[in-house]
Structure 1
């Protein structure tokens, strides 16, 4: 029983994210998210970076949904056998 506990604690200890890894991730996110790149301040909290990242991802999802709707409408208005319809179908299935 005690060997299971020590094994489990070693496993959970080795899978924990280090402070350096968190800092590295926050730094990478700061460079990827346009809203954070525009800011002059070098010191942005990790929670702010994560909040902006979530907002950015939500906006991307909305844009994808809007584009999908527009492509579906366009597909509905084209001839099913046309080259344009084939291109739109490939975009919707990609």
Structure 2
């Protein structure tokens, strides 16, 4: 974090702290969402890309859930326990 201290109110962040957090957020985005690694990107653009990435992940989860719900009825009872175990591992 920044060497600057937070202001009197602990809930407020300094501009340097916000900039540091936005850069950390950008580092978590995959390259396809964080295209501008060599140029300075505005905080608003990084936040927009993060929101788009989260929406993309939500859509992927929805799609996978739909596919799973279609496959589960055709799975025999011996494999259901295995599937539940795998799903619980993925959620950890």
Regarding TM over 0.5, the answer is yes
Aligned residues: 80
Counterpart of 2:61 (choices 39, 45, 64) is: 64
Matched, 1:41 2:41: no
TM-score, with normalisation over the residues of structure 1? 0.72
Matched, 1:50 2:47: yes
Kindly provide the CA deviation profile for residues 7-30 of structure 1, in whole angstroms up to 9, marking residues without a partner as x. Answer: xxx5xx221122122111111111
**What residue number does 1:32 align with?**
28
- The DSSP-based 3-state class of the residue aligned with 1:15 is coil
TM-score, with normalisation over the residues of structure 2? 0.73
- CA positional deviation for 1:50: 0.3
Counterpart of 1:20 (choices 16, 22, 25) is: 16
Where does the alignment leave 5 or more consecutive residues of structure 1 unmatched?
1-9
Q: Aligned equivalents of 2:66 and 2:84: distance in 1?
A: 12
- CA positional deviation for 1:88: 2.5
CA contact (8 A) 1:29 1:53 kept: yes
- 1 or 2, which has the higher helix percentage? 1
